[in-house]
Chain A
Amino acid sequence: MSVGTANVNSSQVDKRARDRAFKARRARSGASFIVLPIIAVAVLIGLWEILAQFTNPLFLSSPQSVARAFANILTHGPTVSALLLSLREMYLGLVLGVTLGFTLGVFIGRFEAVSNIANPFVNVVNATPLIVAIPLLVIWTGIGMEARVVFTMLVTTFPMLLNTSAGVRNVHKGYIEVASTLGLSERATLWKVAIPAAIPYVLAGLRSSLSLAIIGMVVGEMEVSNVGVGWLLLQYGEGLQTAFLIALLIITSVFGVINVTTLKIVERTVFKWTTSTR
């Protein structure tokens, strides 16, 4: 069909122009994206070093001593295994919490009856400061890894659950009508339309769960049993080891950055459509 072909050609021209514009924009923003933050961090470290010269090291350790503490933590067996234990707990709790939150969220979002039954519980538990439940968790599951993982799981379940159910419930009506008119079954509509359409919400829930997972991990370790990052924090705190505390702060913030960056990469590759304008 000649009309169609003409249209494709013009779109190829469009695409080339778009590519050029895109590359130019990326080159411009690339400079400010990479160079400016590096300069900012360098300036900050410089100021920090100067400030530390005039401050009691108990309050503010110098960048050098923090760097030494950093190296110390990452090269000693006990501290490294404490970090690894924390990571294992965090990801275990996260995977369980996110899976549970997603599954419950899909059911609650899709079926009104389930939503009516679950809503009072979800609202109450969501409003409860879960840290108060830790002693109970300890009574129920002991002071081992289980309690800490369960705590992280609980903390990460709710953002996922609430976002997923909102996403599944608020699927664009037009998508559901496409599924209906083309004869998709209830089940196929859920899997092929409602759940994919909810992915932007699910990713937002995952983002919240990722940052809460680190908090859940550390709180669990401090409150349940002294292991991992929580244990290190208590140790360094009691010993007033400021450099080590700052180093640990940086390490845990790197955990967070890795989580968020991984999610961003997944968003931009696997779920590219969620970030593209429609």
Chain B
Amino acid sequence: MTNSIDATAGMDTLSGSSGSSKMFDQPVLSIRGINKTFTGQERDVVALSAVSLDVNKGEFISLVGPSGCGKTTLLRIIDGLDLADSGTIDLEGKRLSGISQDMAYVFQDINLLPWRSVRGNVEIGLEARGVEKSERQRISREFLEMVGLKDVMEVPPYTLSGGMQQRVGVARALAVKPKVLLMDEPFGQLDNFTREALQAEVATLWSQLGITIVFVTHDVDEAIFLSDRIVVMHRNPGQIVETLEVHLSRPRTQADFRAEPETIELRSKITEMLRSQEGGL
């Protein structure tokens, strides 16, 4: 832990080989003792209780759990969109306060700005960082190309389908070159086919860019398909109950992964954990 120099896990390293063989020396994100209570008129809701988690560099980690388990709240606290009542978050050893410029957030409801073109939406984070125009254009083109949207760069975003809009959402987040990408049920509102297509694209982008992703979902198969590790959460209070590793070799394909013995085992394990939670209510 004390040895903080890790030359092999840099941003540029291609880490698409296999999930289990990665070397994790130092967590890129270290979350310690997060508590969060929402004070309501009727009653207080303990959204998160003593949540601690380490996210390794280059890792794809998913938070799964029933609605109300605090997984989105946790993601928002990591980004700084919400404040924890107590607890700390360190990014590469640095204590975070407020919103970190080294992370980017992909929203479930996307929130593209309708008065800007697709390109303008991708460039807004770059404008905030003072990147000059020609460089902004180069970067937005690069990332829109990466998500297969270079032909619709100049159109307004509301003319695109939901799946294409979320591709823009992903490109907008990637364009600021975050160390950690936070994704909050990004495909929750999409139909099945579009969702599977986007899952495959995100897996590809992740392995190409060697980026760290924290992904919130309530879709167990989605978590298994994408993740190196799956964090299962319970509600009342929101807690981490178990962290499971996924050893399926990469690249995984939508057609094959579902029938793998490991997938079946993980799926029943996670589903059982979530079901016992339901029974406990």
Chain A residues with a Cβ under 8 A of chain B: 1, 3-5, 7-8, 11, 14, 172, 174-175, 177-185, 188, 192-193, 196-197, 199, 271-273, 276-278
| B153-200 at interface with A (beta carbon < 8 Å) | 156, 158-161, 163-164, 167, 172, 176, 194, 197-198, 200
From A11, A172, A185, B161 is in contact (CB under 8 Å) with A11
Q: Is the CB of A278 within 8 A of B158?
A: yes
Residues on the A chain within 8 Å of B241, using CB: none
User: Residue on A with the closest CB to B146?
Assistant: A1
What's the Cα separation between A197 and B124 when bound, in Å?
15
Majority secondary structure of chain A interface residues (helix, strand, loop or mixed): helix
* B147 interface hit (Cβ, 8 Å): yes
* B13 interface hit (Cβ, 8 Å): no
Tell which of A174, A183, A188, A196 has the most Cβ of chain B within 10 Å: A183
Residues on the B chain within 8 Å of A179, using CB: 124, 128
Q: Is the CB of B156 within 8 A of A1?
A: no
* B79 interface hit (Cβ, 8 Å): yes
Q: Is the CB of B147 within 8 A of A1?
A: yes
Q: Is the CB of B111 within 8 A of A175?
A: yes
Chain B residues with a Cβ under 8 A of chain A: 79-81, 99, 101, 103-105, 107, 109, 111, 113-115, 124-125, 127-129, 146-149, 151-152, 156, 158-161, 163-164, 167, 172, 176, 194, 197-198, 200-201, 204
Q: Given known contacts A177-B111, A178-B107, A196-B115, is B149 in contact with A183 (CB within 8 Å)?
A: no
Q: For the complex formed, measure the closest distance between the CB of A273 and the CB atoms of chain B, giving whole angstroms.
A: 4
Q: Is the CB of A276 within 8 A of B152?
A: no
Q: For the complex formed, measure the closest distance between the CB of A171 and the CB atoms of chain B, giving whole angstroms.
A: 11
Residues on the B chain within 8 Å of A4, using CB: 147-149, 167, 201
Q: Is the CB of B204 within 8 A of A1?
A: yes
Q: Is the CB of B152 within 8 A of A8?
A: yes
Residues on the A chain within 8 Å of B111, using CB: 172, 174-175, 177-178
Q: For the complex formed, measure the closest distance between the CB of A29 and the CB atoms of chain B, giving whole angstroms.
A: 21
From B128, B149, B197, A182 is in contact (CB under 8 Å) with B128
Residues on the B chain within 8 Å of A11, using CB: 152, 160-161, 164
What's the Cα separation between A174 and B114 when bound, in Å?
12
Q: For the complex formed, measure the closest distance between the CB of B110 and the CB atoms of chain A, giving whole angstroms.
A: 8
Q: Is the CB of B115 within 8 A of A3?
A: no
Q: For the complex formed, measure the closest distance between the CB of A276 and the CB atoms of chain B, giving whole angstroms.
A: 6
Q: Is the CB of B115 within 8 A of A8?
A: no
Q: Given known contacts A8-B152, A276-B156, is B115 in contact with A183 (CB within 8 Å)?
A: no
Q: Given known contacts A183-B101, A184-B124, A276-B158, is B113 in contact with A175 (CB within 8 Å)?
A: yes
Q: Given known contacts A1-B147, A172-B111, A199-B115, is B156 in contact with A272 (CB within 8 Å)?
A: yes
User: Residue on B with the closest CB to A18?
Assistant: B159
Q: Given known contacts A183-B128, A183-B129, A273-B156, is B113 in contact with A7 (CB within 8 Å)?
A: no
What's the Cα separation between A276 and B124 when bound, in Å?
22
Residues on the B chain within 8 Å of A7, using CB: 148, 161, 163-164, 194, 197
Q: Given known contacts A7-B164, A196-B113, is B158 in contact with A177 (CB within 8 Å)?
A: no
From A8, A188, A273, B148 is in contact (CB under 8 Å) with A8
User: Residue on A with the closest CB to B79?
Assistant: A181
What's the Cα separation between A197 and B204 when bound, in Å?
34
From B146, B152, B158, A273 is in contact (CB under 8 Å) with B158
